Amino acid sequence: MSTMKDIIAIDPELCTGCGRCAEICPVDAISGTLHQPHTIDTDKCVLCGQCVQECSAYDSSLEEYEHSHAERLAMRGMLPSTKEPLFAAHFRSDIKKVMDVLTDPNAYTMVQCAPAIRVALGEEFGLEYGSMCQGKLIAALRELGFDRVYDTNFAADLTIMEEAAELVHRIQNGGTLPMFTSCCPAWVKYLEDQYPELIDHLSSCRSPQQMAGSMFKTYGAKIDKVDPKKIVSVAIMPCTCKKFECERPEMNASGEQDVDVVLTTRELAQLIKHMGIDFLNLANQDVDSPLGCYTGAGNIFGTTGGVMEAALRTAVESISGEKLKKLEFEAVRGLDGVRKASVDINGQTISVCIVAGVEHLPSVMEDIKAGRADFQFMEVMCCPTGCVSGGGQPKVLLPAQREKANQLRRAGLYAIDSTSTSRKSHENPDIQKLYKNFLGEPLGHTSHHLLHIERGEHSHE
């Protein structure tokens, strides 16, 4: 198994020492002298990949280097057909692993796609920022040869079932508050590294990626009558830290490694191009069931405030016993680094906090340590606008264009939500069947084993 140290790296041959990566790093993990190659302190790094998005120093055909372009591709695990520029700050490619399993006759492949992929992948094929391309995405994955094409949004709905139940349980039974969301692995790593004394505040829920992985190799294996040991679980993610998360030793609720390999949005685009698939002319296809059906709530997980809004839709109805008249929680939307809001539920107030970017966390965390927190639930996403701006998303070099891209990607996710037939996680019919036929109930014995984790069981090796 590889280590976290090779997931994000800076190529000293290409780095010009401009310092832009150091400026954008939210945890001050990058340092170096101006005009000299910079380095990453892997003890501080949370693997968010924002340096990868920011870097503009590249392998120029006009320069001579110790390593050739072809050698550099091989060193990074990339395909020789890759046409995009090779930048100094980069992430490890796992494309070849996926190609190997797709040609293995003994492997049964299941793939999941995060919400942010469907509003960004099209950019790699010339579509406008934020273009919705889910149908073509699904078709492309089938063309690549995956046996089952599922959706991380299903697992996002599943996460809400567990997380909302956990929040309500903590509020009603004097549990540790405020409770923190646990979907973002870079945030979880930051918490473990910087504030281990607050780990009990973190939800015990595994992330949607990991919940999906455990469901693939248990419930999915049962439905398809497949030996779980033959299942290879692949995740397509906007996030570079998801590569680290899936390799953590405790991510084996199914008895096997729940997610075997993660590809970023950019890697998937490279693979599609390498295989000669005409993405733009693919006919739209639907995701497989039963682990693909999702609600609008699951879809907005890809933007800052989305996890909070999805959780509130379910938690408020659970506590009040009444249907919400309005599903949009506008107060939790937006882009401010720290946002707070309150929701009244039959005279009971639930106060929440949303943090977009871990660089905004220190003052909030110090308030929590000092007992000054005026909220009960906190969502944290490491990347500035949520997963749509993740380190593995299509690279946009100009800051103004990057801002526009992320704005339109977010708008795309909200548009999907607003037009969805079902917009609350607890109303997902396949989630209801999952609990009835397999899991039992949220926070129950089976759910606890497959969907939750005892915090403290972590390793950064």
Decide if 240 contacts 8 (C-beta within 8 A).
yes
Indicate the burial class of 213 (C-beta count within 10 angstroms; 0-12, 13-18, 19 or more).
Answer: buried
The distance from CA 219 to its chain's CA centroid, rounded to whole angstroms, is 22
Concerning whether 242 is annotated as a catalytic residue, the answer is yes
| Strand positions, DSSP E, 259-387 | 261-264, 338-345, 348-356, 377-381
* Cα–Cα distance measured from residue 30 to residue 15, given in angstroms and rounded to the nearest whole number: 12
Q: What is the DSSP string of 67-120?
A: S-HHHHHHHTT--TT--S--BSEEE---HHHHHHHHT-TT-EEEEEE-GGGGGT
Catalytic site residue from 143, 250, 328, 403: 250
Catalytic site residue from 25, 48, 51, 183: 183
Catalytic site residue from 131, 182, 203, 207: 203
Concerning whether 163 is annotated as a catalytic residue, the answer is yes
CA distances from 219 to 69, 97, 146, 214, 423 (A): 44, 25, 18, 8, 24
Concerning whether 250 is annotated as a catalytic residue, the answer is yes
Collapsing DSSP to helix, strand or coil, 419 comes out as: coil
Catalytic site residue from 15, 246, 387, 395: 387
* Cα–Cα distance measured from residue 129 to residue 373, given in angstroms and rounded to the nearest whole number: 38
Collapsing DSSP to helix, strand or coil, 63 comes out as: coil
Residues shown for the chain: 461
* Cα–Cα distance measured from residue 239 to residue 236, given in angstroms and rounded to the nearest whole number: 9
Decide if 55 contacts 21 (C-beta within 8 A).
yes
Catalytic site residue from 189, 217, 242, 395: 242
- Strand 89-91 to strand 179-180: parallel, antiparallel, or no bridges (unpaired)? unpaired
Concerning whether 214 is annotated as a catalytic residue, the answer is no
Hey, what are 415's tokens? 């548009």
Catalytic site residue from 245, 256, 267, 379: 245
Catalytic site residue from 54, 123, 166, 379: 166
Residue ranges in 91-240 assigned as alpha helix (H): 95-102, 134-144, 152-173, 185-194, 208-215, 221-224
* Cα–Cα distance measured from residue 354 to residue 69, given in angstroms and rounded to the nearest whole number: 43
Closest CA to 191 of 200, 180, 199: 199
Concerning whether 203 is annotated as a catalytic residue, the answer is yes
Concerning whether 183 is annotated as a catalytic residue, the answer is yes
* Cα–Cα distance measured from residue 235 to residue 210, given in angstroms and rounded to the nearest whole number: 9
Which H or E element spans position 50?
helix 50-54
Catalytic site residue from 123, 124, 163, 192: 163
φ, ψ of residue 97 in degrees (nearest 5): -60, -45
- Positions marked active-site: 163, 166, 183, 203, 242, 245, 250, 387
